[in-house]
Structure 1
Amino acid sequence: MTEHGDPFSRRGFLLAGGGAAALAALGSAAPAAAAGSPPAGPVPPAASGAAATAGRAAVDWINPFTGALTTSPDTACGKTFPGAVVPYGLVQLSPDTVSGGDNGSGYSADMTTIEGFSFLHLSGIGCYGDLGQVQVQPQTGDLVTGRDAAKSPFDKATEQAEAGYYSVELDRYGVRVELTAAERAGMLRCTFHEAGTGRLKVDLSRRIGFDGSHTVTQELRLVDAHTVAGSMTADRSGGGWICGNGPTYTVYFCMRFQLPISELGTWDGEKVTRGATAQSGASDSAGFFVEFPVHAGQQVLAKAGISFTGLDGARGNLESSLPDWDFDGARAAARGSWSRAVAKVAAKGGTDEQREIFYSALYHTMIDPRVSSDADGASRFGDGPIRHDGFTQRTVFSGWDVFRAQFPLLTIIDEQVVADQVNTLLALTGSGAVKGLARWELLGTDTDTMIGDPAVNAIAEAYLKGVRGFDADTAYRYCRDVALGPAEVTNRNDFAHWSTLGYCVDTSLSTTLENCYSDYALSRFARATGHHADATALERTAQNYRNLFDPAVGWFRGRNADGSWMGDQDGCVESNPEQQGWFVPHDIEGLAGLLGGREAFNTRLDAIFAQTPPADMMKWNDRYNHSNEPVHQMAFMFVYTGAPWLTQKWSRYVCANAYATGPAGLAGNDDCGQMSAWYVLAAAGFYPVAPASGVYALASPLFDEVAFTTSRGTRFTIEARHNSAQNLYVQSATLDGRPLHRAWITHEEIVRGGRLTFVMGAEPNTAWGSDPKWAPPAGR
């Protein structure tokens, strides 16, 4: 997701502080009923490091710097952060190079100064961000309270990041800073190289967002000689999400220092108070500092628990997550958490570069949706009442992005996260915090960012794939209300025109086609739960995409309320009509019919890829624009129209040209894991064109073998024999040892476990998977 507006008008800002040089230094079967053997039995989860390849454990291939650029006009910007986090952790303790501007992660690898290290970050978002609170900056010498004035240059050569750990040398202050994290807390270890007074400055007004964003009220108190606790409230008046369109929330913290505090001081604007014990107020510049006498080489440790419910929650989260002062032990525990998490998808073979890209991508799919409830189960939505719902509440649902690949990946390897997210979405609606179902949720608020009904898509897919642990009746009712109304309960974009004209006028083409897919997903949910009249109605409206196909031009166009056609490039969100028009993932045969048949479909789609420049990471362009989500299914659509060898060709092409290692390694914003999930699935050799169908189109695996340990305790392995960069075409395939003639598999076949084996070659086998009788089933 990028910000709204002309998607081709703005691709970032100038490199900061001589960033070009800094950036250069960074480097950079038969049918299912007949084809399978009996379901494979349960297998134990993969052991830590079981995905080891080329002499290294899987976790060691993770590079948190992948995609960590926000501002370069010449290079793709993934907008990730490099700091310490554990899988789906509430805390993301990471360095901050910037607070304002279109820098949602708060860090860009081309920048050369550090403001501090804060406990909360967003990963890969494509707009002005939020969070960034509790920013700690070690200092020596005179106290400097201003955030910009206190920045320190840092030595890029000393910057190190690995799963669950980050470190850097701050040149200005002569301090080495190390970070690690647990689920709901984080720890800093600061080594002061020279004797004197060591200081930790904690900025409580800092907030990521457009220039001038800040928390609006701050409170703190000295609890004892080692502990300071407090809170910061943020609302729209303080900026944050998309220039002040985000949530109201309070961040609570409990921060402890290993050494006794020699002196506590506070600041509010220009006023500095030494010897303070508390501070409360509303300011755009406020915080506190603690000082300690240090000898050369002295290590000063600080840790903090974070909560969105209250001070008791913050204290409990600290005690639960980081009960002692063993920094190295916490670092090892964080690494162990990641080792177990990424071992769920074990890749063998490939090049060193492919392994780094793959495991860094898998890592980035496991940051959100993050835990937002406390260790004791308490939670809240924004500034609402405390809740005890009996499930793990989660936040950061970037729905328009992640329903396409990240959530389908999670339905294979982590059903619990999916169930938690569904329960969170339902609770948001049931509590009245959200009208309809949240489209882009952040801290209990629907930011109403982007279009479509992604929560419907994710909920329907979850139920249809057998994910349980949520109330299906409530889930169906809320989804139905969104799609079918009445108007007072739905939050569907342009519901009035959709329900009367059969298409939308507001962002006409994009919104209409997104709604069509959602109605398809919900129709399958309705059919599966016995709501047959609803299913029939939704199957009909899922065909509304036809209302925007202009036979005179042979392609899609937006329409006005009077039925007239919009301009050739109008009616789209973060796409153009050539890109958006392919988003008919639920009825590819119908789309091919509009274009004149399968051959015409394949010729037009093939030309899109052939005309897409591979240079500069395939960054933003008007053909196949992998930088943004509306095109993500396109390379896999050939499977549905009898040309799977073109899927094999072009999915490999995108893997090779839209992904790389290092800060410039993503073709566009990672969008909370969607861009990364695309790579994980495509590199493994399959992709969900229409996730609610339960069907995955088969592609061309990059690796000799990828094994998925599913949530149900089974293992599904994809093997590619004679695989290489040249041998990218499937010659034949077997599923559990029996010939597989179709170029697709089902979710049921994956989660029951088994082995899919490809034999690869250098030339297309145009016979395999091309016979219409092996096409994916209509309506699946």
Structure 2
Amino acid sequence: MKSVTFTISSKLIYTLVIGTLLTVSCNLNKTQDSLTEVNSPIDYIDTRIGTKSWSGKSTLSQAELPQGHVYPGVGAPFAMTQISPQTTKKDIPYWWEHEKIQGFRSTHYPNGASMSEYGPLTIMPMVGDLKITPEERASTFNHANEIAKPHYYSVTLNDYNIKAELTAVAKAKFLQFSYPKSNASHIVIDNPFAHGYFKVNPEKNEIEGYTDNSGRAGNMGYTGREFASYFVAKFSKPFDSFMIVPKPDITKTPLLFPEGFTGKFYNNLNLSGKPSVTRNDAIIDFEWSESPAKGIKPNQFSAKYIGELVTTQAGVYTFYVTSDDGVRLFLDDKLVIDSWYNRGATTNTYSVSLEATKTYSIKIEYFDSGGGATLKFGCAPPVTHTPEQISLMATKGAQANAVHVSFKTNKDEKVQVKIGTSFISIDQARKNLNSEINHWDFEKTAEETKNKWNQALSKIKIEASETDKKIFYTALQRCMLLPRNITEDGYHYSAFNGKVVPGVMYTDFSLWDTFRSEHPLLILLEPERVSVMIEALLNSYDEGGWIPKWPSPGYSNIMHGTHGDAVIADAYIKGIKGYNVDKAFEAMIKNATTKSTGRYVARAGILEYQKLGYVPTDKYGESAIRTMEFAYDDYCIAQMAKAIGKTDVYNEFIKRALYYKNMLDPETKLVRGRNSDGSWRDANDPSISGWAYGSDKDRENYFRNITLFAPHDVQGLANFMGGNHKLEEYLDHFFKNDFYYVGDEYSMHSPYLYNYVGAPWKTQKLIRELINDNFEETPGGLPGNEDCGQMSSWYIFGAMGFYPTCPGSPTYQIGSPAFNKGSINLANGKVFTIIANNNSKENVYIQSATLNGEAYTKSWIHHDAIMNGSTLEFEMGPKPNKNWGDLKGDRHVSISE
């Protein structure tokens, strides 16, 4: 990172130069340091950064690969729906390495997360022979011909000589396709994962309908309307012809498998050894919230199903497999579906021509690593319709795999398509489209969204090299994508009770990740929005009974603690209170005291935790990290209780915040599994984490990372180690031996722990190295999952020079600012300024500091100092000043003395 200057302003709006973006193509393979005149932050952004696997140094479990999991989406900040090029039918729509584009997907995939897509709709233009499936119709493209900005994407589809351009707002999208001369031009629309409902209105040049859910947005135990994503697509050109591709009939599935299925269940993830349970099932249609069978663990299990398909007629049969986590399907011992990796609930399909009255063997292999457990299997036999029947179905509306329209085009003729989306109804989708894009001016919409982004991004201004600006502004943009606002005219579809209800709603909170720095960053940059987000979490509580852990858009059982507690407490103690505080506190207490019922699980093992002081390993998987995270959440509840004057609750929960110590093993000085009777598990027991089932190094990696998750009581952790010097030695060994991974949320805060033990210069050096070594402006520029803004917010804070190691505490740890100067124009009208004199790539050490002109020796800064407006000024140098920094660290986050 080179020396730079930045300014953060909530009021500054940059001069926009119309057309600049549309004439500049950013090739990620080159560093454009020659570009010197840029008029707005958005010009620096390339949304393809991180779309390729990280190729640099990485310490990662074999269970997770260092991939950004991001895509070049287009839409407004915090938009309900984005649109992205689709290179694959997998959940994440775009991978840099892929050579073909299958279409342009209206997507709800949470950017950067290993979650499932829900309610997608893909649209693909083409000429010549009509091709329906994504694989058949896919066209080659060149990255050099792409422009990938938050408000605009364009590419040339080489196989069809069509230029595709995309822009979007919050709930509507605008696509523009420039065709060659052709008597056979087409557009195909489908749901890339399953089927949808499509209705063609040729008089109005419209298609309307909805796509069913293929992800984790299902009922989760409520009774109500099933999830659907509705749309209305308006075309600028009349249709010469149109057709739908009827949906196969899977209702006959049981008849195709007269003997049912034999299932074998294993208490491991790889189908090894002898099965613990064997049983027969007539159909495979399961969503397990507890154990799938007596004698099988509720998580960390695998299953194998075997059956025989007896065909009734010749033709194309389609197999559907929905699974939460990994699945493989074999047809006559041939592997035809291979999705053997951790993921959210997703439907895979496979179609093949089979002969009549023959028997085919079917084998399904499945593993569940944690969270939800879903396995559903279906097979649809061939279905035939006459052209007249298909045409009638299209105009009346029908369930179908796809719909397509055809027309003639002249050379360079632009065909435009506007798509409105809604989670409420088709009528609401039409209303959203008409209110957001009530014209046919593509450039106008692109400019409107560009302006919205520049208003958001201009809260931070940096003066730096082109490379640093690309990294910084792309990271900042990713911090303003999620959670997504799904409020529609004051109402929202509730994925928690299946109803359309009044009130605001945000979803895709990756709370296990984003409580750490994404939400604290939003407190500084978007305080009013944070208040509304908390209101949305409380609406979720009203509608489903719980604050969700990872809504996407409904409940899921992803991850361990209930970190909505941290998000609310952190916001409250930092002055954000525009919501029902009593209800928020009530919901937090429910998380901490009440066992969940039904499919959703808040804190698994909470009753045992309250009784024993820890979550027992013999009853619950990943018990150590559950205990550690529960204790941290209890700390946050204690801070909230103290702030609202509930002293008795504070006293109770501040004691519970120390329960993390019950999982620290005095023998190994690491976390360790513990049984209900108090006995310790084997020191190498991999149940420490769902990620620790790889090599010995993987296992040790997670033992050492999880041990450091006591951000609320660093002094207590140091005392356990044997004193501050022992914790410092632990950290030295930890970083020297590559146990730290910048993208591993368990220990994202750990580089700043040196501040607490009297060695802040080690934090300063380490942070600058991590920033320089792990973030690039290239396709592989992210060292791990973006996780809905968490990775980028870690970078933003680190580059600015301070970090919220313990949300729920009103303090930030000081690192080493990578910028010469910065100022934050706060919403209250005051200004916080950071100055780093003599700053450079080599001068990473703080020599001295002043706050408002007075000597400042603390290695942390209080939130009030920022909000009151002040100037924090550093003198930087090439060697550490070991006398600078408060040796006691931040007492706000040290319960133990």
CA contact (8 A) 1:69 1:107 kept: no
Q: Deviations over 1:716-773 (max 9, x none)?
A: 2222111111000111112222221111112222223332221111011111114338
Report the CA distance between 1:510 and its aligned residue: 0.8
1:88 corresponds, among 71, 78, 81, to 78
2:393 and 2:821 mapped to 1: Cα distance?
61
Report the CA distance between 1:576 and its aligned residue: 1.0
Report the CA distance between 1:128 and its aligned residue: 4.9
Match of 1:407 in 2: 519
Matched, 1:582 2:699: no
Report the CA distance between 1:129 and its aligned residue: 1.9
Report the CA distance between 1:777 and its aligned residue: 6.2
Matched, 1:296 2:411: yes
3-state SS, counterpart of residue 317 of structure 1: helix
Report the CA distance between 1:699 and its aligned residue: 0.6
1:191 corresponds, among 154, 167, 178, to 178
Say if 1:486 and 1:658 are closer, same or farther in 2 by CA, change over 3 A.
same
CA contact (8 A) 1:46 1:709 kept: no
Match of 1:437 in 2: 547
Matched, 1:731 2:718: no
Report the CA distance between 1:700 and its aligned residue: 0.5
1:189 corresponds to which letter in structure 2?
Answer: Q
Say if 1:715 and 1:317 are closer, same or farther in 2 by CA, change over 3 A.
farther
1:189 and 1:665 mapped to 2: Cα distance?
30
Match of 2:645 in 1: 530
Residue correspondence of structure 1 range 412-431 to structure 2 within 5 A: 412-431=524-543
Residue correspondence of structure 1 range 457-536 to structure 2 within 5 A: 457-485=566-594, 491-505=602-616, 506=620, 507-536=622-651
Say if 1:529 and 1:128 are closer, same or farther in 2 by CA, change over 3 A.
closer
2:132 corresponds, among 136, 145, 154, to 145
Q: Deviations over 1:481-507 (max 9, x none)?
A: 111236669821211321121111221
CA contact (8 A) 1:246 1:447 kept: no
1:453 and 1:54 mapped to 2: Cα distance?
46
Report the CA distance between 1:705 and its aligned residue: 2.2
Match of 1:562 in 2: 677
Match of 2:395 in 1: 278
Match of 2:794 in 1: 678
2:858 and 2:530 mapped to 1: Cα distance?
29
1:578 and 1:450 mapped to 2: Cα distance?
19
2:653 and 2:677 mapped to 1: Cα distance?
24
1:394 corresponds, among 498, 506, 510, to 506
1:233 corresponds, among 209, 212, 218, to 212
Residue correspondence of structure 1 range 106-255 to structure 2 within 5 A: 106-131=93-118, 133-203=120-190, 205-207=191-193, 214-215=194-195, 217-222=196-201, 224-234=203-213, 239-241=214-216, 248-255=226-233
2:514 corresponds to which letter in structure 1?
Answer: V
Matched, 1:755 2:865: no
Report the CA distance between 1:245 and its aligned residue: 8.4
1:246 and 1:678 mapped to 2: Cα distance?
36
1:293 corresponds to which letter in structure 2?
Answer: K
Match of 1:7 in 2: none
Q: Deviations over 1:308-345 (max 9, x none)?
A: 01112111111121111111121112111111111112
Match of 2:492 in 1: 379
2:566 corresponds to which letter in structure 1?
Answer: N
State percent identity of aligned pairs: 29
2:748 corresponds to which letter in structure 1?
Answer: H
Report the CA distance between 1:455 and its aligned residue: 0.9
1:67 corresponds to which letter in structure 2?
Answer: G
Match of 1:319 in 2: 434
Number of aligned residue pairs: 704
2:14 corresponds, among 45, 48, 70, to 48
Match of 2:254 in 1: none
Match of 2:298 in 1: none
Unaligned stretches of 5+ residues in structure 2? 1-7, 17-32, 58-64, 248-383, 692-700
CA contact (8 A) 1:517 1:585 kept: yes
1:242 and 1:232 mapped to 2: Cα distance?
12
Q: TM-score, normalised by structure 2?
A: 0.75
3-state SS, counterpart of residue 316 of structure 1: helix
3-state SS, counterpart of residue 734 of structure 1: strand
Report the CA distance between 1:424 and its aligned residue: 1.3
1:439 and 1:70 mapped to 2: Cα distance?
27
Report the CA distance between 1:119 and its aligned residue: 1.1
Report the CA distance between 1:347 and its aligned residue: 2.2
3-state SS, counterpart of residue 513 of structure 2: helix
Match of 1:34 in 2: none
CA contact (8 A) 1:454 1:518 kept: yes
CA contact (8 A) 2:714 2:893 kept: no
Matched, 1:716 2:832: yes
Which deviates further from its counterpart, 763-772 or 670-679? 763-772
Report the CA distance between 1:146 and its aligned residue: 1.7
CA contact (8 A) 1:246 1:442 kept: no
Match of 1:446 in 2: 555
Report the CA distance between 1:199 and its aligned residue: 1.4
Report the CA distance between 1:49 and its aligned residue: 6.0
Say what the alpha-carbon RMSD is for the aligned residues. 2.6
CA contact (8 A) 1:193 1:297 kept: yes
2:614 corresponds to which letter in structure 1?
Answer: Y
3-state SS, counterpart of residue 117 of structure 2: coil
Report the CA distance between 1:82 and its aligned residue: 0.7
2:242 corresponds to which letter in structure 1?
Answer: L
Matched, 1:79 2:58: no
Match of 1:644 in 2: 760
1:195 corresponds to which letter in structure 2?
Answer: S
2:884 corresponds, among 768, 771, 775, to 768
2:96 and 2:893 mapped to 1: Cα distance?
46
Residue correspondence of structure 1 range 1-12 to structure 2 within 5 A: none
1:288 and 1:87 mapped to 2: Cα distance?
30
Say if 1:314 and 1:640 are closer, same or farther in 2 by CA, change over 3 A.
same
1:771 and 1:173 mapped to 2: Cα distance?
66
Match of 2:666 in 1: 551
Which deviates further from its counterpart, 545-554 or 224-233? 224-233
3-state SS, counterpart of residue 753 of structure 2: helix
Unaligned stretches of 5+ residues in structure 1? 1-41, 208-213, 613-622
Match of 2:819 in 1: 703
Say if 1:461 and 1:60 are closer, same or farther in 2 by CA, change over 3 A.
same
Q: Deviations over 1:463-486 (max 9, x none)?
A: 111112210000000101111236
CA contact (8 A) 2:220 2:555 kept: no
Q: Deviations over 1:588-611 (max 9, x none)?
A: 011111111111111211221122
CA contact (8 A) 1:457 1:518 kept: yes
1:572 corresponds, among 689, 695, 705, to 689
CA contact (8 A) 1:130 1:240 kept: yes
CA contact (8 A) 1:306 1:317 kept: yes
2:48 corresponds, among 37, 46, 65, to 65
1:82 and 1:409 mapped to 2: Cα distance?
22
CA contact (8 A) 2:713 2:893 kept: no
CA contact (8 A) 1:128 1:243 kept: no
Report which of the two has the higher share of strand.
2
Specify the structure having the higher radius of gyration (Cα): 2
2:165 and 2:879 mapped to 1: Cα distance?
51
Q: Deviations over 1:164-215 (max 9, x none)?
A: 1111111122111010111111111101123333211111x323xxxxxx24
3-state SS, counterpart of residue 704 of structure 1: strand
